[in-house]
């Protein structure tokens, strides 16, 4: 007998997943999808949610979110970050390890995983490659892997020593896990506050050259080839970086790459007013780089769009460009910004953009309960997207504890109407339910 209280019917939408798109209702019972088809009925007392004019898709998956807990709860917590994620359509996020203390031990990883048990989406954890993210001694990856950690990174800093990175690849290959690199040669990027180019020269601001990223991309592709390890490149920002990834893929190497919504949509010209809201790492690049990143999404060289959600308290941004912390919010605006950059900017099909936000990152992260086709028996991790809804970004109404978004006051197109996590309607009509 069906319990109506635990049944949700998503009615009148267009289902999109890796098999394509079709008009269908989706019936959810408990934590799983019960049926997908036309004209479905739900038992009396069930919750019926309107999906008319919307895409009904597997929940979005973010490979790159800074949830700041433990250690910087004034900026974000696992709970507030997961609420922002759910409102943005995410049913899973990968929490970065550059916390305080960093996720370089089973104890800290277990703490974050425990905090995530009551969250509004799945909170998976990335482990650090090195102890203290100091780039010297390998973290206990076997212990972290035993907890289910599948991706390791010192994000916020690239591993500078090639010998340390070689040993990390060898260790990771034996465990069957992936190493994700923040590609930045620190000797080249030190002191830089924006992309090194015409705008940095005009503004008199020290720049970060594209080569600071590209040299590390080249090195790690060589090390992946040498060791047989799996490499994932975080937030790539330059055309030449993507060219190298494309060549590595054609060679058959186990290499994947992500880009961010802001690198797909903003250029270094945004810093003409010295506004620290536009300071990110890696920095916003040239129009030619933006065009190349978009094309990489179209051709499939890019495997995922990741938010690099980086909340900061006001004092970290309300200072000079040189001294401000890099990073911006992303979880609630990622979908709309990505749709604008790719469907408007390149003519890319909606279903392919959703793939870059959902099932393709799920595969990179090894999250098998996420991103799968919407079919009977599948996990009920679902988002309902209204691709035509226009909305104004109001920082005070965002779920994050922080307010550092460059989209404040701007009108975006595309919004999440409902999010179901493990069958529970955690967002209804754009509002979190708990």
Condensed to tens digits (0 to 9), the pLDDT of residues 30-40 reads: 999 999 999 99
Q: Which two tokens stand for residue 367?
A: 């999250």
Chain center to CA of 250: 25
Q: For the sheet containing 90-95, what is the strand order?
A: 60-65, 90-95, 122-125
Bond into 271 cis (ω within 30): no
- As a whole number of angstroms, the distance between CA 18 and CA 359 comes to 7
pLDDT at residue number 1: 37
220 catalytic? Reply is no
What are the residue ranges of CATH 2.30.40.10 in the chain? 4-56+377-432
pLDDT at residue number 43: 87
Q: How would you class 91 by CB atoms within 10 Å of its CB: exposed for 0-12, middle for 13-18, buried for 19 or more?
A: buried
- Nearest 5°: the CA angle 63, 69, 75 is 95
What are the residue ranges of CATH 3.20.20.140 in the chain? 58-365
pLDDT at residue number 345: 84
pLDDT at residue number 121: 98
Nearest of 381, 316, 365 to residue 58 by alpha carbon: 381
* Residue numbers of the chain with a pLDDT score lower than 50: 1-2
Strand pairing class (47-50; 14-17): unpaired
Catalytic option among 308, 369, 386, 429: 308
Q: How distant, in Å, are the alpha carbons of 23, 166, 187, 231, 354 from that of 215?
A: 47, 15, 11, 15, 31
CATH 3.20.20.140 fits 58-365, yes or no: yes
Which residues lie below 8 Å from residue 75, measured CB to CB, with a gap of 6+? 68, 311, 312, 313, 316, 401, 402
> Which CATH superfamily does the domain covering 4-56+377-432 fall into?
Urease, subunit C, domain 1 (2.30.40.10)
Q: Which two tokens stand for residue 205?
A: 């601001």
- As a whole number of angstroms, the distance between CA 75 and CA 403 comes to 9
pTM for the model stands at 0.97
């Amino acid at each position: 007998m069906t319990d109506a209280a635990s049944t949700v019917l998503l009615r009148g939408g267009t289902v999109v997943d890796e098999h394509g798109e079709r008009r269908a209702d989706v019936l959810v019972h408990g934590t799983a999808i019960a049926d997908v088809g036309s004209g479905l009925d739900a038992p009396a007392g069930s919750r019926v949610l309107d999906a008319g004019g919307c895409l009904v898709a597997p929940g979005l998956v973010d490979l790159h979110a800074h949830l700041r807990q433990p250690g910087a709860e004034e900026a974000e917590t696992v709970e507030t970050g997961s609420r922002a994620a759910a409102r943005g359509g995410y049913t899973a996020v990968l929490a970065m390890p550059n916390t305080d203390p960093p996720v370089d031990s089973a104890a800290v990883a277990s703490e974050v995983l425990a905090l995530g048990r009551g969250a509004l989406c799945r909170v998976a954890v990335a482990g650090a490659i090195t102890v203290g993210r100091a780039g010297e001694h390998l973290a206990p990856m076997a212990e972290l892997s035993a907890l289910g950690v599948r991706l390791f990174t010192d994000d916020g800093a690239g591993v500078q020593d090639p010998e340390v990175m070689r040993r990390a690849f060898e260790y990771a290959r034996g465990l069957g896990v992936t190493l994700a690199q923040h590609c930045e040669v620190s000797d080249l990027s030190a002191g830089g506050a924006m992309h090194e180019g015409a705008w940095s020269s005009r503004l008199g601001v020290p720049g970060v050259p594209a080569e600071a990223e590209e040299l590390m991309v080249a090195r790690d592709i060589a090390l992946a080839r040498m060791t047989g390890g799996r490499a994932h490149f975080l937030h790539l920002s330059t055309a030449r970086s993507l060219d190298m990834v494309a060549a590595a893929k054609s060679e058959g190497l186990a290499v994947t790459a992500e880009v961010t919504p802001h690198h797909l949509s903003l250029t270094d010209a945004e810093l003409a007013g010295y506004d620290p809201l536009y300071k990110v790492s890696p920095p916003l690049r040239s129009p030619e780089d933006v065009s190349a990143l978009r094309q990489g999404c179209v051709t499939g060289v890019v495997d995922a769009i990741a938010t690099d959600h980086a909340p900061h308290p006001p004092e970290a941004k309300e200072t000079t460009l040189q001294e401000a912390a890099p990073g911006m919010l992303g979880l609630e605006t990622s979908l709309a910004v990505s749709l604008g950059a790719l469907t408007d900017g390149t003519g890319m099909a909606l279903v392919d953009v959703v793939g870059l936000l959902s099932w393709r990152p799920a595969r990179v992260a090894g999250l098998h309960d996420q991103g799968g086709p919407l079919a009977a028996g599948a996990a009920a991790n679902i988002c309902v997207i209204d691709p035509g809804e226009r909305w104004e970004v109001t920082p005070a109404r965002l779920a994050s504890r922080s307010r550092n978004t460059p989209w404040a006051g701007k009108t975006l197109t595309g919004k999440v109407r409902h999010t179901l996590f493990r069958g529970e309607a955690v967002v209804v009509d754009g509002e979190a339910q708990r």
